[in-house]
Amino acid sequence: MQTDLTLGIDIGGTNIAFGLVNQEGEIVFEGNLSTAEVRNPSLLPELIEEQTQNYTFREIGIGAPSSNTFSGMIENAPNLRWGVNIPIVEYFENYFKVPTKLTNDANAAAVGEKLFGAAKDFSEFVVITLGTGLGAGIFINNEIFNGKFGTAGEFGHVMVDKDGRPCGCGRKGCLETYCSATGMLRSIDLLTSPHKANSPLVELENPNPLDIFNAAQQGDQFAEYIIDFTAEKLGYWLANFACFSNPEAFILFGGIAKNGEYFRQKVDHYTQANLLNLYQGKVQVLSSELHHRNAAILGAAAYAKY
């Protein structure tokens, strides 16, 4: 039995992925749970142990939205609906009796990208996670930036339209209501286009973002419009982000970004078009190199040792 393993956990709005990672960055076991089925987060350690009981691990790293790395709490994450302050580190340390560290889920992905993916050669970069919500893992001078209170990187809650789409955080017009998996699905209903009436997307009962990309590949002009709308809004705000962060690269990670060059090229086009002249040609927009692996699990595990 391996004794050098670390349990990495990625808590998302839709799924909870977890795995045992060895010293070489290999995931030797991987499992998942539906977030909606975890009604009581205090039971999460027990649910994970049911799938990992044949393994022993030294420490635990957890990536979660709206997390405070200093307090060990998930603080009012709008996509989790578990309550205001969830002492997730306390739950795991009390149950497993091993050291546990918490970070933002985007920070976990950024650490994974730094150690094993597209950011190996960068010291200043931002990983943009595009899942149920939208997050940002920010590296400055080869260090994760946590902010004063441990909750930096909530880029998805930058308000881009004060009278815009309602957000789960209680405000309106947050970026993630447009540029996330759920944001794209809302666009099916909320965007207007001359091609909408003829699009098969409007007939689907439970569409997902892959349906939008597949429809676009088949020539659906409304699907193409949704993708272009999403990429334009994201690129515009990445260009604004560059004004105060001056990164070497933005790295797109998560479900939407998995659709490859088609989406990345669009986001890159709109980012470059809106960049301040000072930054022209100096900021790359890249896709994660870890979509065939689970960067969030790798990153959470790496953060446990960080």
> What are the pLDDT digits (tens) for 246-301?
999 999 998 888 776 889 999 999 999 999 999 999 999 999 988 777 778 998 99
| CA gap 79, 134 in Å, rounded | 11
**Percent with pLDDT over 90 in the chain:** 73
Between 188 and 67, residue with greater pLDDT: 188
Cα angle value 306/141/296 (rounded, 5°): 45
Tell me the pTM: 0.85
- Count the neighbouring beta carbons within 10 Å of the beta carbon of residue 300: 34
Parse the chain into domains and list their residue ranges: 5-111+294-305, 118-287
- What architecture does CATH give domain 5-111+294-305? 2-Layer Sandwich (3.30)
- Work out the pLDDT band at 189, boundaries 50, 70, 90: very high
At position 179, the amino acid (one-letter code) is C
Q: Which residues contact 304 (CB under 8 A, 6 or more apart)?
A: 6, 7, 8, 59, 60, 61, 99, 100, 101
Report in angstroms the alpha-carbon separations of 11 from 44, 82, 209, 276, 300: 10, 12, 20, 35, 10
**Burial profile 159-197: b = 16 or more Cβ within 10 angstroms, e = fewer:** ebeeebbebbbeeebbbbbbbbbbbbbbbbeeeeeeebe
Which tens digit of pLDDT belongs to each residue from 144-173?
A: 998 888 888 999 999 999 999 999 889 999
62, 296 Cβ separation under 8 angstroms: no
pLDDT for the residue 260 = 66
The class level of CATH for 118-287 reads: alpha beta
Reading phi first (left if > 0) and then psi (alpha if -120 to 50, else beta), residue 38 is in beta
Name residues whose C-beta falls within 8 Å of residue 287's C-beta, 6 or more positions apart in sequence.
118, 251, 252, 257, 260, 261, 264
* CA distance to 50, 69, 89, 140, per residue, from 73 (Å): 23, 7, 7, 24
